[in-house]
Amino acid sequence: MSNQVETDGAYIRYEFSEFAGKLEPVKYEMPVPQGNEVLLKVDYCGVCHSDVHVHDGYYGLGNGKKLNLGDRGIRLPVTLGHEVVGTIVAVGEDAIDASVGEQRLIYPWIGCGECSVCQRGEENLCGKPASLGIFKPGGYSEYITVPHPRYLVDLGDLNPANASLLACSGLTTFSAIKKIQPLHEEEYVIVIGCGGLGQLAIRTLRSDGISNIVGVDVSEDKREIARKAGAKVVLDPRSLDATDTLTREADGNCMAVLDFVGNEQTVEFGLKVLKKGGKLVVIGLHGGELRYPIPFLVTKAVTIIGSYTGTLAEMKELVTFANQHDLLDIPVEIRALERAESAVEDLSNGKVSGRIILKN
C-alpha cells in the first residue's frame, strides 16, 4: 500500500494572529511527513475551555493579576484544537506503525520525549511542551501533522465524533478520577461544574461503580443534566445553606471533590465540605488565588491536587473503558469547521450546555 493518498497542494487552518483576535482561515502548503511523522485529515475536533483560555492569552491569578500565555512560550499565530480524530493520509518513511486510511484518536499532550518526566510516561507534564493546538498547530484545520505513530490510538467501536472528546475532556476527567481512588462504597464524590467535563465525570464515576455523586452547578439546566447523568443529589452552591445541605445529604462523608470550575469560590466551597482525609482535585482554570489556613490543612489531613490532562497510557486505558461503557452520551452539537470562531465565542459566553465538535 502507498504511504500517502493524493491531496491538493494547499489546505486551510483557522488561526488567530493576536490574542483575543479573530480566527481567520489561512492557506498553507500541504506538508510532506518526514521520518516518523504522520499526516492526517482532520475528521472531528472538539472545542474545549482550554481553547478559550489560550485564545484569550492569559489565566486569571486573582487580585487583577494575570498569567500571560505569550510569556509561557505560546507563539502566534495559533491554530487551536487538541481533541482530534483524523484519518491518516500520508506517513514518513520511518512511521512503520501507521497505515494510510486508518482513523485514529490523537494524543495531543506531546512533550520533548527526552527529559525524565517524558521518560516516565508523563509527557503532559513536560517542561518543554509541544502540545498540539497550543504550542503546535492543532485541529481547527483541514489537516494535522503528528510527530510519531505512538500518539495515535485505535477508536475501537466508538462513534468517532464523540470519541474526539476523549483526548482532553475525557482524559482530563479520567485522570482526575484516578487521583481520588480508591473510594469506599459509602463515601461521596462532589462534582463542581456540570458542563461537558462534569457530565463526563458523573458518567465515568457511575460506570466505575461509584453511585454516591453530588452535582453542583449554578445552572438549573446543567443540574438537571447532571441528575439524568447519574448524580444522586444536585444543588446550587449559591443557596445560603448549600454547604450544610451537602454535608447533611452526604451524611458528613464527602471524601472527594472534583472541581471543574477552578475559581476562588468553588475551591473554597470544596474545602469546606471535605471530611478529614478528603481530596480536592482542581481541574478548572477559571482562576484566582487559593487561601486556606495551614493548621486546617494539617489537622484535617486534606489533600489538594492540581490535575492537568493525562498521560498517553491513561488515554489508551480510557479508550478501552469507553468501549466497554456508555460514556459518551452527552449533549453534543456538530458544527462545520468554518464556524470555529462562533464555537469559541459561544463557549466563552456560557452558551454551551454540552460540547461543540467541529466537523471538517
pLDDT for the residue numbered 4: 62
Compute CA 189 distance to the chain's CA centroid, rounded to the nearest angstrom: 19
pLDDT for the residue numbered 7: 62
Q: 57-103, pLDDT tens digit by residue?
A: 998 888 788 889 998 889 999 999 999 999 999 999 999 989 999 99
In angstroms, the CA 74 to CA 72 distance is: 6
Tell me the whole-structure pTM to 2 decimals.
0.92
Contacts 24+ apart (CB under 8 A), 3-11: 3/90, 3/91, 3/92, 3/93, 3/95, 3/100, 4/33, 4/39, 4/89, 4/90, 4/91, 4/100, 5/89, 5/90, 5/100, 5/101, 7/89, 7/90, 7/143, 11/141, 11/142, 11/143
Task: Decide: 105 and 152 in contact? Cβ < 8 Å.
Answer: yes
Q: 161-177, pLDDT tens digit by residue?
A: 999 999 999 999 999 99
Please enumerate in sequence order all residues whose Cβ is within 8 A of that of 179, keeping only pairs 6 or more positions apart, or say none.
279, 281, 305, 307
Determine the average pLDDT of the residues in 129-158: 97
What letters, b where the CB count within 10 A reaches 16 and e where it falls short, cover 240-271? eebbebbbebbeeebbbbbbbbbbeebbebbb
Q: 286-341, pLDDT tens digit by residue?
A: 888 998 999 999 999 999 999 999 999 999 999 999 999 988 877 789 999 999 99
* Of 107, 144, 147, the residue nearest 28 (C-alpha): 144
